[in-house]
């Protein structure tokens, strides 16, 4: 089975092909330009003036303003082009976890990323890739060629979620690597302290990137299906705790809900899309629902 067939099954394609991924705020022309001029590159649409500083391209000087004010101002233009999407996947070991032994979080994330990659390529939008654990391990320049999907999946198929993770540091690193405002699609379980992660997301957002957080958890992490006395071992650090799961379920679910609520609330405040998912949810349906919802909001 080819990688595309493995991660992007025909029924999934069928499900999402009629949908699109709309930018919310950064790239206004994303949607409009989706079909009109997908290959125009930079737009010439005026955005704002700023004072000329040495080093600026002299051809950008607005001479009309000079004539009126005798000061040099440079015209800024917003790119009116297709959004560049970056699929940003968490490669940490915890992403390889599955309780039911069916789909790991990683596999779930890859499938989801593949679908989105396909969707964007279909829309002529370039798609790039970052995979990180404690730092960015793999990256792929964004392209909108049809071969890009195969390249992306090829890289993801080779990658194995094995290391420890540092989502915040990785996102900060990625933010530094992005030149233009892009659509950053983060696929992670976000296990760790929420504050640094949120800070990193804010930073991305502050730089003008559109951010979608696909918070992928295992079914067991959401439902805590254990009973009796169990020793829970953290796969990345090897730490374990002994608990009476029956007694603990309620407390755990409370904690988990609190965590997701925090993320949901903070992301909403920063106008970041937060999509909570777990591996028991059919991702194509979850994705469809999200995209429809996003479309309605925009």
Partner 1 sequence: MTFLNASLLAGTVLVAVPILLHLLLRRRPRRVEFPAVQFVQERQVPQQRRLRIRHWLLLALRVGVIALLSLGLARPSVIFSGDWALEEEPVAAALIFDTSLRMEYRHENQTRLERAKELGLWLLAELPQQSEVAVLSSRAAPAAFEVDRASARERIRRLEPSADSQPLPAAISRALDLLEQSEKRLREIYIFTDLARAAWPRETLPTLRSQLEKTLGLSVYLVDVGVPEPKDFALGTLELPRQILSSRGTLVVQTHVESIGLAGACTVQLEMEEQDPATGRRRWQKREEKVCQLQPGQAEQVVFRLRGLGTGIHQGQVRIVGGDALPGSDVRYFTIAVKPPWHLLLAAPTAPHLVPSFVTEALAPREFRLTGQARYECRLIPQEELAQSDLAGYAALMLLDPKPLEDALWQKLAGYVADGHGLAICLGRNAQPIDSFLTPAAQSLLPGPLQMQARRPDFDTFLAPADRQHPILAEFRRLSGTVPWDAFPVLCYWQLGQLAKGVNVVVSYSDGRPALLERPVGKGRVLTLTTPLTDDTNHEPWNLLPVGDAWPYLILVNEMAAYLVGAAERQLNYTVGQMVVLQLEGAGGRRSYVVTAPDGMTFTAQTEGAAGPLVLSPPPLPGNYRVQASGSPDGGFSLNLPPEQTRLDRLGPEELNDLLGLRNVRLARSRQEINRHVSLGRVGQELFPLLIALVACLWAAELLVANRFYKDEPKERKGTR
Return residues touching partner 1 (CB under 8 A). Answer: 93-94, 96-101, 104, 189, 191-192, 217-218, 220-221, 226-236, 239-248, 251-252, 255-256, 259
User: Rounded to the nearest 5 degrees, what angle is found at the Cα of 165, between the Cα atoms of 184 and 272?
Assistant: 30
CB of 229 to partner 1, least distance (A): 4
Q: How far is the CB of 212 from partner 1 (least distance, A)?
A: 22
| Residue placing its CB nearer to partner 1 in the complex, 38 or 235 | 235
Nearer to partner 1, 16 or 222 (CB): 222
Question: 30, 181 in Cβ contact below 8 A?
Answer: no
* Nearest one of 51, 14, 45, 10 to 30, comparing CA atoms: 45
Which two three-digit tokens encode residue 188?
């992670």
CB of 247 vs partner 1, minimal distance in Å: 6
| Cβ closest to partner 1, residue 38 vs residue 276 | 276
**Toward partner 1, which CB reaches closer, 83 or 159?**
159
Nearer to partner 1 (CB atom), residue 202 or residue 259: 259
Q: Least distance from C-beta 156 to partner 1, angstroms?
A: 16
Q: Which is nearer to partner 1, 17 or 250 (CB)?
A: 250
CA distance 284 to 279: 11
| Count of other CB atoms within 10 angstroms of residue 245 | 15
Instruction: Find the shortest distance in angstroms from Cβ 50 to partner 1.
Output: 46
Give CA–CA dist 228/210, Å, rounded: 44
Rounded to whole angstroms, how far apart are CA atoms 182 and 43? 15
Number of C-beta neighbours around residue 167 at 10 A: 25
- Helix (H) or strand (E) holding 165, with range, is none
Min CB(96)–partner 1 separation in Å: 5
**Min CB(64)–partner 1 separation in Å:** 59
CA 236/CA 92 separation, integer angstroms: 8
Distance CA 249, CA 243 (A): 10
The distance of closest approach from Cβ of residue 261 to partner 1 in the complex, given in angstroms and rounded to an integer, is: 13
Residue 72 or 252 having the CB closest to partner 1: 252
Residue 295 φ/ψ region, left for φ over 0, alpha for ψ in the -120 to 50 degree band, beta for the rest: alpha
Which residues, other chains included, contact 131 with Cβ-Cβ below 8 Å and sequence gap of 6+?
A: 88, 89, 91, 137, 138, 139, 155, 156, 159
Instruction: Choose between 63 and 240: whose C-beta lies nearer to partner 1.
Output: 240
């Amino acid at each position: 089975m080819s990688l595309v067939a493995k991660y992007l099954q025909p029924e999934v394609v069928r499900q999402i092909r009629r949908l699109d991924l709309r930018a919310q705020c950064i790239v206004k022309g994303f949607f409009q330009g989706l079909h009109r001029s997908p290959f125009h590159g930079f737009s010439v649409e005026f955005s704002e003036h700023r004072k000329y500083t040495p080093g600026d391209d002299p051809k950008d000087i607005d001479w009309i303003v000079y004539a009126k004010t005798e000061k040099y101002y440079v015209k800024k233009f917003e790119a009116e082009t297709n959004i560049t999407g970056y699929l940003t996947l968490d490669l940490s070991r915890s992403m390889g976890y599955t309780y039911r032994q069916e789909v790991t979080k990683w596999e779930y994330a890859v499938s989801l990323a593949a679908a989105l990659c396909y969707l964007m390529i279909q829309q002529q939008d370039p798609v790039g890739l970052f995979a990180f654990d404690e730092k960015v391990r793999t990256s792929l320049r964004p392209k909108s060629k049809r071969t890009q999907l195969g390249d992306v999946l090829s890289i993801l198929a080779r990658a194995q979620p094995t290391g420890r993770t540092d989502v915040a540091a990785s996102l900060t690193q990625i933010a530094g690597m992005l030149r233009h405002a892009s659509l950053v699609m983060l696929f992670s379980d976000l296990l760790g302290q929420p504050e640094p992660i949120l800070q990193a997301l804010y930073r991305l957002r502050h730089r003008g990137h559109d951010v979608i957080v696909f918070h992928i958890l295992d079914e067991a992490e959401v439902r805590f299906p254990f009973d009796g006395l169990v020793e829970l071992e953290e796969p990345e650090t090897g730490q374990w705790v002994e608990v009476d799961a029956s007694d603990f379920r309620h407390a755990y679910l409370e904690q988990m809900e609190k965590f997701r609520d925090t993320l949901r609330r903070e992301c909403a405040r920063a106008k970041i899309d937060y999509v909570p998912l777990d591996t028991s949810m059919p991702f194509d349906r979850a994705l469809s629902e999200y995209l429809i919802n996003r479309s309605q909001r925009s």
